[in-house]
Amino acid sequence: MTERKIRVLVAKPGLDGHDRGAKVVARALRDAGMEVIYTGLRQTPEMIAEAALQEDVDVVGLSILSGAHMALIPRIIELLKANGKENVKIFVGGIIPDEDAPRLKEMGVTGVYGPGAPTGMIVNEIRAALEPAA
Amino acid sequence: MVQSLAESILSGERMAIARLLTQVENNTPEGRITLDKLFPYTGKAHLIGVTGAPGTGKSSLVNRIALQYRRPAAANPKQVAIVAVDPSSPFTGGAVLGDRVRMRDLAGDPGIFIRSMASRGSLGGLAQATAAMVQVFDAAGFDVILIETVGAGQTEVDIARLAHTTLVVESPGLGDDIQAIKAGILEIADILVINKADLPGVEKAEQVLRGMLDLAHPVEKVFRHHGQVMVIPGSEPANASLWVPPIQRTVATDGTGVGELMAAIEQHAQYLHQSGDWGRRERARLEVELDGLITETLVAQFRASVSDARYEEMVDCLVERTLSPWEAVKALLNRGT
């Protein structure tokens, strides 16, 4: 067997209704050879943690435009841990104020990306984050 | 370690199931050893395949079927696993697996486990590891396993060799009566589903499928022609041991017709048990699996025994037309000559 495929869950927690950005990222990760499980809009933290467990993903990518990230992300991290997914790498994209990014990283988020982030950078940082495990 | 993984699967631990599915999908030694241990516990689940062209509503239908098996009114709700296959890119090997988008109604139900998988280069509508992943769910005690193929064209018929009951999903406007008599996907249907039955063209779609079934299973027809009653006898007497695929109309988005579809699935399962087909299909499936593994193993052994240089040399001979492909095979198999 060749190298293990990177599996990524791409989800949009919360109530905002635009998933263009999430789809662009999903597509870019696909083109980088990853397997992307796309779950669509309006996911609850519980749904995301459950899907991450069932799909046994290496990475969870969350897209949040609503401003609710400081409430949603700690809850998702807590539920992922409860599901035994404490090793999963979490990446966040969307509208995240600069001052929140360090706080998210303290909670355990690996990467935070705003509008205009090059998709190649996201791909590289996902690969780098999984390097020691692979 | 390995022993405990098998035990965790048998007791239905979801984390262990998820991890083993990954091992099995990647064909790791640990995955194979655990599967060996679990194999005696398989063979109990009802495997239901769902196939059809892209966009006919397979995922939405799987969502509805799973809901029906789980609804509280059901006398004993069944444990349902779903394996959903989507295509891998032939260029990058990457994939977007989007079947869960249609299955959000199933979230939060501990009696349901959904796993998406990429086809990883397989061409028959399933991935190489799909059958093995189904065995994991079977051993873990799931009563029903729904297997959704990639959006299938005409020849992605592997599902019929894996599933006990195969649903072929059509929708109005997909093809005329010539499409319906071609060989391939329609032949493998145990149940034909016309989804999106609220769209115009549903009558025509059913008529075309009905016509195709009549050719395969002629039944007695009585009709009026020039004022006379005419009878065309069917070629087969009404025979309870013959399964004629029923045509079910559904609207997966609102659930119309899904109750009737469930009844047809149940009838098919009963027919398989009464006619002995269940056992025959089981045997045929295991035979195909054995054949596949023999081929895979022999090819791997053979390739390991031939140096890359020697192999490349043969390809060069083919390019220069100094050997034919058959001669090259002979030369490689009889090393030394």
pLDDT digits (tens, 9 = 90+) for B156-167: 788 988 999 999
pLDDT at A1: 39
Please determine, for residue B243, whether its predicted confidence score (pLDDT) is greater than 60.
Answer: yes
Q: Which amino acid is located at A125 in the chain?
A: E
Please determine, for residue B292, whether its predicted confidence score (pLDDT) is greater than 90.
Answer: no
Burial B228-245 (b: 16+ CB within 10 A, else e): eeeeeeeeeeeeeeebeb
**In chain B, % of residues over pLDDT 70:** 88
Please determine, for residue B4, whether its predicted confidence score (pLDDT) is greater than 60.
Answer: yes
Lowest mean pLDDT among A53-62, A104-113, B197-206, B221-230: B221-230
Interface test with chain A among B24, B85, B100, by most A beta carbons within 10 Å? B100
Chain-chain contact of A30 with B22 (C-beta, under 8 angstroms) = no
Chain A to chain B, count of Cβ pairs less than 8 Å apart?
Answer: 80
Residue B172 to residue B194: CA distance in whole angstroms = 7
Residue B255 to residue B76: CA distance in whole angstroms = 21
Burial B269-300 (b: 16+ CB within 10 A, else e): bebbeeeebbeebeeebeeeeeeeeeeeeeee
Please determine, for residue A124, whether its predicted confidence score (pLDDT) is greater than 50.
Answer: yes
Chain-chain contact of B14 with A46 (C-beta, under 8 angstroms) = no
One-character DSSP codes across B240-289: TTSPPPPEEE-BTTTTBTHHHHHHHHHHHHHHHHHHTHHHHHHHHHHHHH
CA distance B258 to chain A (A): 24
B-chain CB neighbours of A37 within 8 Å are 97, 100, 116
Q: Which amino acid is located at A117 in the chain?
A: A
CA distance B108 to chain A (A): 7
More confident residue, B134 or B173: B134
Nearest to B18 among A39, A43, A54 (CB): A54
Tell me the average pLDDT of chain B.
87
Please determine, for residue B235, whether its predicted confidence score (pLDDT) is greater than 80.
Answer: no
Please determine, for residue B236, whether its predicted confidence score (pLDDT) is greater than 60.
Answer: no
Highest mean pLDDT among B163-167, B172-176, B211-215: B163-167
More confident residue, B214 or B244: B244
Please determine, for residue B1, whether its predicted confidence score (pLDDT) is greater than 80.
Answer: no
Please determine, for residue B337, whether its predicted confidence score (pLDDT) is greater than 50.
Answer: no
**In chain A, % of residues over pLDDT 70:** 96
Residue B120 to residue B194: CA distance in whole angstroms = 29
pLDDT at B55: 87
Backbone region of residue B210 per phi and psi (left: phi > 0; alpha: psi in -120 to 50; beta: other values): alpha
Q: Which of A17, A134, A7 is nearest to B22 (CA)?
A: A7
SS3 content of chain A, % helix, strand, coil (to 5): 45, 20, 35
Chain-chain contact of A38 with B88 (C-beta, under 8 angstroms) = no
Please determine, for residue B174, whether its predicted confidence score (pLDDT) is greater than 70.
Answer: yes
Integer-rounded Cα Rg, in Å, for chain B is 23
Q: What is the mean pLDDT of residues B166-180?
A: 79
Chain-chain contact of B108 with A53 (C-beta, under 8 angstroms) = no
One-character DSSP codes across B4-32: HHHHHHHTT-HHHHHHHHHHHHTT-HHHH
B-chain CB neighbours of A35 within 8 Å are 88, 94-95, 97, 118
Please determine, for residue A15, whether its predicted confidence score (pLDDT) is greater than 90.
Answer: no
pLDDT band at B34 (very low <50, low <70, confident <90, very high): very high
Is residue B99 within 8 Å of B116, Cβ to Cβ?
yes
Q: What is the mean pLDDT of residues B27-48?
A: 94
CA distance A98 to chain B (A): 30
Contacts of B162 (CB under 8 A, 6+ apart): B47, B49, B126, B130, B131, B134, B147, B285
Please determine, for residue B83, whether its predicted confidence score (pLDDT) is greater than 80.
Answer: yes
Helix B325-333 vs helix B308-319: crossing angle, to nearest 10: 160
pLDDT at B288: 85
Chain-chain contact of B94 with A39 (C-beta, under 8 angstroms) = no
More confident residue, B80 or B183: B80
More confident residue, B118 or B180: B118
pLDDT at A132: 67
Lowest mean pLDDT among B36-45, B211-220, B309-318: B211-220
Chain-chain contact of A33 with B93 (C-beta, under 8 angstroms) = yes
Tell me the average pLDDT of chain A.
91
Chain-chain contact of B95 with A36 (C-beta, under 8 angstroms) = yes
Q: Which of B337, A46, A48 is nearest to A38 (CA)?
A: A48
Please determine, for residue A10, whether its predicted confidence score (pLDDT) is greater than 60.
Answer: yes
Write out the residues of chain B at the interface with chain A, using a CB-CB cutoff of 8 A.
Answer: 14-15, 18-19, 21-22, 26-28, 88-89, 92-98, 100-101, 104, 107-108, 113-116, 118, 120
Please determine, for residue A133, whether its predicted confidence score (pLDDT) is greater than 60.
Answer: no
Nearest to B27 among A1, A30, A84 (CB): A1
Q: What is the mean pLDDT of residues B8-31?
A: 93
Residue with structure tokens 């028959």? Answer: B124
pLDDT at B74: 62
Nearest to B115 among A1, A29, A54 (CB): A54
Integer-rounded Cα Rg, in Å, for chain A is 13
Residues A71-102 pLDDT 10s: 999 999 999 999 999 999 999 999 999 999 99
More confident residue, A16 or B66: B66
Residue B267 to residue B278: CA distance in whole angstroms = 13
Residue B202 to residue B171: CA distance in whole angstroms = 8
Burial B171-183 (b: 16+ CB within 10 A, else e): bbebeeeeebeee
Q: What is the ipTM of this complex?
A: 0.91
Residue B319 to residue B337: CA distance in whole angstroms = 21
**In chain A, % of residues over pLDDT 90:** 82
pLDDT band at B222 (very low <50, low <70, confident <90, very high): low
B-chain CB neighbours of A122 within 8 Å are none
Q: What is the mean pLDDT of residues B121-128?
A: 84
